């Protein structure tokens, strides 16, 4: 009984133990599950922490590399700066000294051991002022002060200083940036000298301008010439006192007005045409213009030239006019006098030629007849005397020929009786015979001209051929006479040595003055073209319309 009870009690205990074990297993299982969950969570946290750590390490590496690059960049900037840069501790001992500082001050960094920055300042009082400003404001900018170099030289420097502080705001040092002002000082001195020189030059220039202005004003006021300036549209910008006096208009009143507001239209048209020609050609031009005034029409010789702006663009013109009315009258009188003299010369030549031909020719003819009679008379009585008489006859024949030639050259009868063409043809043949120079005359479409023109053309050709014979050493000469487009043209061309036309004005042996005078008297013009070893061409031109 007791045994059963024990067994039963043991079974109950086993059941209890089993239940407890089951509960314990369940608790272990639960604890194990919780542990695994915690392990998983912790593992995830560790993984996350590991990733964050890796990212932080990478970021730190990048920061270190960036810091390294920044440091290298700053070191490069500092070392290659155009300014001297130094860093000192709070006691003034040097921590950094760049290459520019070495170049300016002459000290290498290792030579600054045992020295302080304060020893580099030349003026202690000025240093005290600068340090007081630095302590008060914490920074000094562009403070000009003298600094001592290694060799003892003192140079002006532009100093900027900033204090360095730690995280607690305590001063641990300073950064100093210095710039050598020697070059700037020299430049300032040079600039000052240049400004003084410029000031002196400006004053001198102003004085010269005032003097020139007074001189020009005096010239414009007292010159007898008319002076004016117009813009490119023909409107007046300035006139001198002579212009005001002649045309009764003030300089202030004429501003902006044109010739059409002052003169008759035909006169204004004349002025405008020559103005436009000057502006178009862009060079000075000399013209004659007729201007009506209170006492009649006056002739002016004008020199017109362009006026340029700063860009060398013609923006107007200036005219200087000289009254040549009296000169033209004197020239006309002189021309008439010269024409009268030449006409008198021609009459005198004609008279001399007639006397030579009529009087002397008749006497020589009579002498020849007597010489022939005497030769026949002495032929049988005295042979030698007869021969002398025959020689006398031959000499008289030669003299007769020379007298006839001289009379013809003085005034060829063919010019009076047959006209210019036949006279030139006869003279070409006579010139060829007399000089041995081949001379060809070619007329072309020439109508009969009046005696005055014929005489002038003949004398010009005669003088030109005379020059060919005397000076050119030519073998050929050509005379051309033609009429075309209302112009009569006479040319004498040779193949001689030629000459420099620039020197003909100084020559007095070519007879050019006479030829030009004859050409001018009848309203024509004479041109001479020649070059050494290229022959010569003398050209006389006459507008026939002016003769009709």
How far apart, in whole angstroms, are the C-alpha atoms of residue 316 and residue 278?
10
Q: What token pair was written down for 333? A: 């009188």
Evaluate whether 498 touches 529 at the Cβ level (below 8 Å).
no
CB atoms near residue 292 (< 10 Å): 13
| Helices vs strands, H then E, count in the chain | 14, 15
b/e per residue 503-525 (b: at least 16 CB within 10 A)? eeeeeeebbbeebbbbbbbbebe
pLDDT of residue 492: 93
Q: Between β-strands 476-484 and 438-444, what pairing exists: parallel, antiparallel or unpaired?
A: parallel
pLDDT of residue 525: 85
pTM here?
Answer: 0.42
- DSSP character at residue 264: -
The 3-class secondary structure across 103-162, one letter per residue, is HHHCCCHHHHCCCEHHHHECCHHHHHHHHHHHHHHCEEEEEEEEEECCCCCEEEEEEEEE
Evaluate whether 490 touches 460 at the Cβ level (below 8 Å).
yes
pLDDT of residue 476: 92
CA proximity to 285, closest of 259, 256, 321, 323: 321
Kindly give the confidence (pLDDT) of every residue in the chain, 548 residues in length, as a single tens digit, with 9 standing for 90 and above.
566 777 677 777 777 777 777 777 777 777 777 777 888 887 888 888 888 888 888 888 887 787 677 667 777 777 777 788 888 888 888 888 888 888 888 888 888 888 888 888 888 888 888 888 888 888 888 888 888 888 888 888 888 888 888 888 888 888 888 888 877 778 878 888 888 888 888 888 888 888 887 877 777 777 888 888 999 899 998 888 888 888 888 888 888 899 898 888 988 898 899 899 888 888 898 888 888 887 788 888 888 999 888 888 888 999 988 888 777 776 666 666 555 665 666 566 666 666 665 666 677 777 778 777 877 777 777 778 777 877 888 888 787 777 666 666 666 655 666 778 888 888 888 889 888 999 999 988 888 777 778 878 888 888 888 888 888 889 999 999 998 888 889 999 999 888 877 666 544 455 677 778 777 777 788 888 888 888 899 999 988 765 54
Query: Phi/psi of residue 270, each to 5°?
Result: -60, -45
How far apart, in whole angstroms, are the C-alpha atoms of residue 378 and residue 295?
84
Q: What token pair was written down for 466? A: 């005379």
Quick one: CA torsion of 492, 496, 497, 500, rounded to 10 degrees?
A: 10
Planar angle of CA 269, 271, 275, nearest 5 degrees: 115
């Amino acid at each position: 009984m007791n045994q059963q009870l024990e067994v039963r009690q043991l079974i109950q205990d086993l059941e209890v133990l089993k239940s407890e074990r089951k509960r314990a297993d369940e608790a272990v299982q639960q604890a194990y599950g919780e542990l695994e969950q915690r392990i998983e969570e912790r593992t995830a946290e560790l993984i996350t922490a590991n990733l964050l750590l890796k990212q932080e390490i990478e970021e730190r590496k990048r920061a270190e590399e960036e810091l390294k690059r920044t440091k290298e960049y700053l070191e490069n900037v500092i070392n290659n700066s155009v300014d001297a840069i130094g860093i000192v501790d709070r006691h003034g001992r040097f921590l950094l000294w760049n290459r520019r500082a070495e170049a300016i001050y002459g000290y290498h960094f290792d030579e600054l051991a045992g020295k302080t920055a304060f020893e580099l300042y030349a003026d202690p009082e000025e240093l005290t002022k600068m340090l007081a400003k630095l302590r008060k404001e914490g920074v000094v900018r562009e403070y000009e002060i003298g600094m001592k170099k290694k060799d003892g030289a003192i140079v002006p420097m532009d100093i900027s200083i900033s204090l360095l502080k730690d995280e607690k705001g305590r001063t641990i040092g300073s950064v100093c940036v210095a710039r050598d002002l020697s070059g700037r000082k020299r430049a300032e001195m040079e600039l000052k000298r240049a400004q003084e020189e410029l000031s002196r030059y400006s004053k001198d220039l102003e004085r010269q301008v005032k003097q020139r202005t007074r001189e020009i004003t005096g010239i414009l006021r007292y010159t007898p010439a008319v002076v004016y300036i117009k813009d490119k549209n023909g409107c007046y910008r300035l006139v001198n006192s002579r212009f005001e006096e002649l045309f009764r208009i003030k300089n202030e009143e004429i501003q902006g007005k044109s010739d059409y507001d002052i003169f008759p239209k035909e006169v204004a048209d004349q002025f405008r045409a020559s103005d436009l020609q000057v502006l178009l050609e862009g060079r000075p031009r000399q013209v004659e213009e007729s201007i009506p005034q209170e006492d009649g029409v006056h002739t002016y010789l004008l020199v017109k030239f362009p006026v340029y702006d700063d860009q060398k663009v013609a923006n107007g013109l200036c005219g200087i006019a000289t009254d040549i009315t009296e000169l033209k009258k004197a020239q006309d009188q002189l021309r008439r006098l010269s024409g009268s003299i030449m006409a008198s010369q021609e009459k005198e030549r004609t008279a001399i030629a007639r006397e030579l031909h009529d009087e002397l020719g008749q006497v020589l003819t009579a002498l020849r007849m007597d010489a022939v009679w005497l030769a026949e008379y002495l032929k049988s009585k005295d042979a030698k005397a007869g021969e002398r008489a025959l020689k006398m006859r031959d000499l008289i024949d030669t003299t007769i020929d020379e007298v006839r030639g001289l009379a013809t050259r003085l005034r060829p009868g063919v010019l009076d009786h047959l006209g210019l063409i036949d006279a030139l043809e006869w003279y070409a043949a006579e010139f060829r015979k007399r000089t041995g120079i081949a001379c060809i005359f070619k007329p072309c479409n020439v109508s009969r001209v009046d005696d005055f023109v014929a005489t002038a053309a003949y004398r010009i050709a005669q003088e030109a051929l005379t020059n060919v014979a005397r000076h050119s050493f030519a073998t050929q000469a050509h005379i051309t006479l033609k009429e075309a487009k209302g112009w009569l043209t006479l040319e004498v061309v040779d193949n001689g040595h030629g000459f420099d036309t620039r020197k003909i004005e100084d020559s007095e042996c070519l007879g050019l003055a006479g030829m030009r005078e004859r050409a001018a008297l009848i309203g024509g013009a004479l041109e001479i073209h020649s070059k050494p070893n290229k022959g010569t061409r003398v050209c006389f031109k006459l507008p026939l319309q002016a003769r009709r």
